Amino acid sequence: MDNENSIGRWVSILYRLGQSYLDRKLKEIDLSCGQFPFLMLLFKKDGVSQDSLAKSLCIDKGTTARAVKKLEASGYVKRVECFEDKRINKVILTQKANEIEPQIELIISQWTELLTKDFELEEKEIALKLLKRMAGNVLDCNC
């Protein structure tokens, strides 16, 4: 298979373009694309442990700790020692983070619209289904 027809190549290109797009849009609110997935997960489930964040996002613990530290320094989260287990830090969204959630949702929506601007509804659904399936294939193989 030549590189032009490699799914991995196109996934990689979209990833890099997405990171660049997010960095430009998030810069206005003192965020970067590296902190973005952590906030997105916390918007869905606030108060999870750093370990849980790392596992849910398939990101190593060191990278997770650095991202949470930056989010904390920017005033978007605070780390709270777990009452039941003092070894665990729970990550809690601050009011500042909750206030920017609509902006973050808009950025995601705009990126999705850009990606799929000439797609029919059925094509959008198929693309999403296939991407989820590809991610599942990799997660299943424990590569």
Strands (E), 6-76: 48-49
pTM of the model: 0.83
Residue 71 CA to residue 141 CA, distance in Å, equals 32
CATH of the domain at 13: 1.10.10.10
Q: What is the pLDDT of residues 12-50, one digit of tens each?
A: 999 999 999 999 999 989 899 999 999 999 999 999 999
Residue 25 CA to residue 19 CA, distance in Å, equals 10
Give how far Cα 98 sits from Cα of 10, 54, 64, 69, 86, Å. 34, 21, 20, 18, 26
Structural domain containing residue 15: 3-141
Q: Average of pLDDT values for 101-122?
A: 95
Residue 36 carries which side chain, given as an amino acid letter?
F
Residue 143 pLDDT class (50, 70, 90 cuts):
low
Q: What is the pLDDT of residues 60-111, one digit of tens each?
A: 999 999 999 999 999 999 998 877 777 778 899 999 999 999 999 999 999 9
Q: Please tell me the total count of domains within the chain.
A: 1
